Amino acid sequence: MRNEFTEQDAELLDALGVKVEPEEVPRRTAREERIMAGFEEIQRFVDTYGRKPKRGDDRDIFERLLAVRLDRILDDGECRTILRPLDRQGLLIGDAATVESPTDVLSDEALLSELGVQTKTPDVTELLHVRSSAEKRAAEEIASRKRCEEFKRFRPLFEQVQKELDSGIRKTRPFERKAEIEPGRFFVVAGQKAYVAEMGEIFTQEYGDNDARLRVIFDNGTENNMLRRSLQRALHKDPAGRRITEPTAGPLFADHATGDDKASGTIYVLRSKSNLPFISEHRELIHKIGVTSGNIQKRIAGAKLQPTFLMADVEVVATYRLYNIDRGKLEALMHRVFAPARLEIEIEDRFGNPVLPREWFLVPLAVIDQAVAKVKDGTITQYLYDRSTASLVGCADPKDESGEVQ
């Protein structure tokens, strides 16, 4: 329905003696606009997560900032008066906060300072409260986080990574290149561990850069469908942004080689870059476990021409140096432990002949690390891999020749 007067309507009202005055739109001050904009960010958080933002060291820095901002609003009568008509979620209902209200109740700098985050004094030429396009996109990426419904599946990965960081198997390093962002990699951004679970097809942005859509899982149980360049930007911008290295264990059965030790070779774990649908769908879980006495890079050279490597290039995701151990028997033992998860797949070689690779397994990398640890403590023969729980379970020691580690 139109809500406008025509000239004829105006003449009729004038004849009736009705004066029509144009409605004055109340003008907002810059401070009121800023208060309303800050409140709208809190409302978007509530829309996304279904709850008010909370404080706490275990919370995302952005959530903590919003929580402090809401406390400031509740404590300030003027703010409540301005925002009450906009409060569609009942956020202003309840007791006011007990903190003393500052002069500028919505200063992000003051809020960050209260959270222990130091901010630098801006240069006189710096525009305050004006966000760049990149910062706006980053904020949108953060706002688009949602609860990870499958987090039960990812939680063990984060727990294992933390154990490996504590033991020194993994380390954190400064983030350097976009190429480091690949499926299966872990990072630290905004104080949280982030796991790249999936990566879509690489495409070219309108400004010429290559990019890809990622599924990123965070250790607080949320996930985000974000661009690789957005994650790269967040890691570069965060002074504490880090990459978590791939696991590399020391020599089996010893922390270092002694003068009498003899190098036996290396256990290597590979991940395929094959475009086969099943491989692409389960890439983060499909690993080749092998042992070599030579150089690994030479071993995998020309992988895309060899059916044992699924006729595709591969990447090395973990290595373990061996000392004083029978390579062949250890490889047979590892393959026996993970036999229930062996990948049954048929590949044609260069001449069209069918080949059944036997060294590929549907098993998480974290469980392979656990198996290596049990090789080190001599208990590996007591375990088998259970597909239903994706974990190692105890079993009777078979006492067979292939289970002996010498």
Q: What is the pLDDT of residues 60-70, one digit of tens each?
A: 777 888 888 88
Q: Do 336 and 385 fall within a single domain?
A: yes
Instruction: Give the C-alpha separation, 197 to 214, whole Å.
Output: 8
Residue 290 in domain: yes
pLDDT of 340 strictly over 70: yes
Domain encompassing residue 97: 30-122
Backbone φ, ψ for residue 290 (5° rounding) = -145, 170
Residue 324 in domain: yes
Let me know: does 131 contact 37? Beta carbons within 8 Å. Answer: no
Q: What is the tens place of the pLDDT at every residue in 113-148?
A: 555 444 444 443 333 344 444 444 544 455 467 889
For 172-190, the three-class secondary structure string (H helix, E strand, C coil) is EEECCCHHHCCCCCEEEEC
Q: Which of 245, 262, 296 is the last residue of a domain?
A: 245
Instruction: Give the C-alpha separation, 326 to 322, whole Å.
Output: 9
Q: Do 377 and 345 fall within a single domain?
A: yes
| 3-state class (DSSP) for residue 386 | strand
Q: Do 196 and 341 fall within a single domain?
A: no
Domain count, the chain: 3
Q: Torsion angle of alpha carbons 235, 241, 247, 249, nearest 10°?
A: 150
Tell me which of 253 and 83 has the higher pLDDT. 83
Q: Which residues contact 198 (CB under 8 A, 6 or more apart)?
A: 183, 214, 215, 284
* pLDDT at residue 287, as a whole number: 93
Q: What is the tens place of the pLDDT at every residue in 349-395?
A: 888 888 888 899 999 998 998 888 888 777 888 889 998 888 898 87
Q: Which of 192, 227, 245 is the last residue of a domain?
A: 245
Q: Do 357 and 272 fall within a single domain?
A: yes
Residue 23 in domain: no
Q: Do 237 and 261 fall within a single domain?
A: no
* pLDDT at residue 194, as a whole number: 93
pLDDT of 72 strictly over 90: no
Q: Beta strands of 221-274 (E only): which ranges?
A: 222-227, 242-244, 248-249, 263-272
Q: Do 212 and 169 fall within a single domain?
A: yes
Backbone φ, ψ for residue 177 (5° rounding) = -125, 150
Place of tokens 């078979």: 398
Q: Do 292 and 382 fall within a single domain?
A: yes
The two three-digit tokens of residue 311, written as one number: 């006729």
Q: Do 337 and 390 fall within a single domain?
A: yes
Q: What is the tens place of the pLDDT at every residue in 177-195?
A: 777 888 889 999 888 899 9
Average of pLDDT values for 71-81? 86
Average of pLDDT values for 252-280? 72
Instruction: Look at residues 347, 279, 362 and name the one whose alpha carbon lies nearest to residue 310.
Output: 347
Q: What is the tens place of the pLDDT at every residue in 193-237?
A: 999 999 888 888 766 678 888 999 999 999 999 888 889 888 888
Tell me which of 110 and 286 has the higher pLDDT. 286
Let me know: does 272 contact 288? Beta carbons within 8 Å. Answer: yes
* pLDDT at residue 288, as a whole number: 93
* pLDDT at residue 298, as a whole number: 84
Instruction: Look at residues 212, 58, 230, 220 and name the one whose alpha carbon lies nearest to residue 135.
Output: 230
Strands 192-199 and 213-218: antiparallel
Q: Which of 200, 227, 245 is the last residue of a domain?
A: 245
Residue 272 in domain: yes
Residue 336 in domain: yes
pTM across the whole model? 0.39
Helix (H) and strand (E) counts for the chain? Answer: 12, 18
Tell me which of 354 and 30 has the higher pLDDT. 354
Q: Torsion angle of alpha carbons 348, 354, 359, 360, nearest 10°?
A: 60
Q: Do 266 and 384 fall within a single domain?
A: yes
Q: Do 117 and 166 fall within a single domain?
A: no
The whole-angstrom distance between residue 146's C-alpha and the CA centroid of its chain comes to 12
Q: Across the strands, what pairs with 348?
A: 354
Task: Name the least confident of 11-25, 52-66, 257-271.
Answer: 11-25
* pLDDT at residue 314, as a whole number: 92
The two three-digit tokens of residue 22, written as one number: 């144009």
* pLDDT at residue 248, as a whole number: 57
In one letter, which amino acid is 47? D
Residue 164 in domain: yes
Q: Across the strands, what pairs with 196?
A: 216
Average of pLDDT values for 23-41? 75
pLDDT of 260 strictly over 80: no
Q: Do 240 and 254 fall within a single domain?
A: no
Rg (CA), the chain: 30
Calculate the average pLDDT of the chain: 76
Instruction: Look at residues 66, 68, 226 and name the one whose alpha carbon lies nearest to residue 146.
Output: 226
Q: Across the strands, what pairs with 267?
A: 291, 320
Q: How confident is the model at residue 106 (pLDDT cuts 50, 70, 90)?
A: very low
* pLDDT at residue 345, as a whole number: 86
Q: How confident is the model at residue 246 (pLDDT cuts 50, 70, 90)?
A: confident
Q: Do 271 and 392 fall within a single domain?
A: yes
